[in-house]
């Protein structure tokens, strides 16, 4: 199972909005509502930002939102803040009942 495709890095200035894409296939993203987005600061445990494509845990800021169309899911960060600088991963449930992660995106706050 190949990793889902994400841009290696995305940058934005404080207060701006950025969007991270996550492209899969008919075996994963396009065939499931179980797409998850994680924030990962190096040396810490990954943290769920969004699950089931659009659901936000109570502790996730409303600045994080997501969507899916076909085989591509997207995460948008609004009002970019310094603490948003981290690695972001998508993951998807697959038709083989496994999980596949995205290649990861480094968000750089300018």
Partner 1 sequence: EVQLLESGGGWVQPGGSLRLSCAASGFIFSDYAMNWVRQAPGKGLEWVSSVNAFSGDTYIADSVKGRFSISRDNSKNTLYLQMDSLRVEDTAVYYCAKAITATSPRPHSWGQGTLVIVSS
State the minimum distance, in angstroms, from the CB of residue 79 to partner 1: 26
For partner 1, which residue of 30, 31, 78, 101 counts as binding (CB under 8 A)? 101
Q: What are the C-alpha distances in Å from 62 to residues 56, 80, 101?
A: 8, 12, 23
For position 53 contacting partner 1 by CB under 8 A, the verdict is: no
Q: How far apart are CA 110 and CA 107, in angstroms?
A: 10
Q: How far apart are CA 20 and CA 11, in angstroms?
A: 10
For partner 1, which residue of 20, 24, 37, 38 counts as binding (CB under 8 A)? 38
DSSP summary character for residue 21? E
Q: How far apart are CA 3 and CA 5, in angstroms?
A: 6
For partner 1, which residue of 9, 26, 76, 98 counts as binding (CB under 8 A)? 98
For position 36 contacting partner 1 by CB under 8 A, the verdict is: yes
State the minimum distance, in angstroms, from the CB of residue 93 to partner 1: 6
Torsion of CA 76, 79, 83, 88, to 10 degrees: 10
For position 1 contacting partner 1 by CB under 8 A, the verdict is: yes
- Residues lying near partner 1 in the complex (CB under 8 A): 1, 3, 34, 36, 38, 40, 44-48, 51, 87, 89, 91, 93, 96-104
């Amino acid at each position: 199972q190949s990793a889902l495709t994400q841009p290696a890095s995305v940058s934005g200035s404080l207060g701006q909005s950025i969007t991270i894409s996550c492209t899969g296939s008919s075996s994963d993203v396009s065939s499931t509502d179980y797409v998850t987005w994680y924030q990962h600061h190096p040396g810490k445990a990954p943290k769920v930002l969004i699950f089931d494509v659009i659901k936000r845990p109570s502790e996730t800021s409303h600045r994080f939102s997501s969507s899916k169309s076909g085989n591509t899911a997207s995460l948008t960060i609004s009002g970019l803040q310094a603490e948003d600088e981290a690695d972001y991963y998508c993951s998807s449930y697959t038709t083989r009942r496994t999980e596949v992660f995205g290649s990861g995106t480094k968000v750089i706050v300018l």
